[in-house]
Amino acid sequence: MSAQVISGTEISKQIQAELKDEVAQLKTRGVAPGLATILVGEDEASKVYVGQKLKTCDRLGITSFHHKLPPDTKEPDLLKLVDQLNKDPKVHGILCQLPLPKGLNADKILLAISPDKDVDGFHLLNMGKLLSKKNMKEIEEEKMYLPCTPHGIIQLLKRTNIPMSGAEAVVVGRSNIVGKPVALLLMAENATVTICHTGTRDMGEVTRRADILIAAIGKPKVITAEMVKDGVVVIDVGVNRLPEGLCGDVDFNAVKEKAKAITPVPGGVGPMTIAMLMVNTVKATRKLSGVK
Ligand code: GUN
């Protein structure tokens, strides 16, 4: 059996088509959604990611305000820019691309972004809201910003009709950006969630239990065919650069022979992260302008 390959590219296109109409409607009512992006330094991967975000804004009719800062930017200057963007009525969402160069404290910068403009969902207030909600209904009612990659993963599963309620979900990785928040969202979807990390004694023993396996490790091809059971659904969050090209955290060719469904790299989770950023930007525009 070979797995269904879940196209994040296609699902992201559907979401973008929905959003394009919403943006056009907002504009007819006198509100133009605006996203400010901040890129500090010369990290090559970050340049690519921010470039993709700006291109998507353009495609959807969202105004972007890009701020490119040198690698030796001092913390007070970055904080001053964030303060200006917090106050700018044309800016509804603010994104500071991570990682920041050495010497800049990401926690401090993220905390300075207004929680109402925090379209990445990284501000402690938004992270705390996510932690405090019990289910998706409560999360939706709160009209909060969900972190983009975890929210994109949930949308991939939903739009592929993968049942989450009652499923055994195993998350590999415990980062604040992916592992922890995706575990909370899967729990809110009523899955039984286990998180593996570098301290896990026998990772294969845990991952073989998974009906849904989320790989967010940041190392190439860690998840092998021996580590999954037949019929698993695998979501690969990894983007690793090897001499032969990009690859995920999953040994795709081997694991796809056992899986029911699997995301590719590239073309899986990546496009979904961008789509959910646009969702949050439109949400922020409605919230700040008061236009429903
Ligand atoms: N670095 C890796 N992923 C992300 C993301 O989703 N947002 C930002 N701002 N930086 C990142």
Decide whether any atom of ligand 1 lies within 6 Å of the 79 Cβ.
Answer: no
In the β-sheet with 63-69, what is the strand arrangement from edge to edge? 63-69, 34-40, 93-96
Q: What is the pLDDT of residue 107?
A: 97
Question: Tens digit of pLDDT for each residue in 176-215?
Answer: 999 999 999 999 999 999 999 999 999 999 999 999 999 9
Q: What is the pLDDT of residue 4?
A: 98
**Which mutation among 54, 126, 177 tests ligand 1's pocket best, with the greatest number of atoms within 8 A of CB?**
177
Q: Atom 11 in ligand 1: which residue has the minimum CA distance? A: 98
Query: Is 202 marked active-site?
Result: no
Percent of the chain at pLDDT exceeding 90 = 97
Asked whether the beta carbons of 254 and 281 are under 8 A apart, the reply is no
Q: Atom 3 in ligand 1: which residue has the minimum CA distance? A: 98
For residues 241-251, average pLDDT = 95
- Alpha-carbon distances, residue 120 vs 18, 30, 94, 117, 229 (angstroms): 20, 25, 8, 9, 33
Query: Is 137 marked active-site?
Result: no
Burial classification of residue 107, based on how many CB atoms lie within 10 Å of its CB (0-12 exposed, 13-18 middle, 19 or more buried):
exposed
Decide whether any atom of ligand 1 lies within 6 Å of the 285 Cβ.
Answer: no
For residues 249-262, average pLDDT = 98
Q: Show me where the domains of the chain are located.
A: 31-117, 147-269
Class of the CATH domain delimited by 147-269:
alpha beta
Q: Which fold has domain 31-117?
A: Rossmann fold (3.40.50)
Predicted confidence (pLDDT) at residue 1 exceeds the cutoff of 80:
no
Predicted confidence (pLDDT) at residue 143 exceeds the cutoff of 90:
no
Decide whether any atom of ligand 1 lies within 6 Å of the 273 Cβ.
Answer: yes
For residues 92-116, average pLDDT = 97
Average pLDDT score over the chain = 97
Decide whether any atom of ligand 1 lies within 6 Å of the 274 Cβ.
Answer: no
Predicted confidence (pLDDT) at residue 2 exceeds the cutoff of 90:
no
Query: Is 14 marked active-site?
Result: no
Predicted confidence (pLDDT) at residue 134 exceeds the cutoff of 90:
no
* Topology agreement, domain 31-117 and domain 147-269: yes
Decide whether any atom of ligand 1 lies within 6 Å of the 269 Cβ.
Answer: no
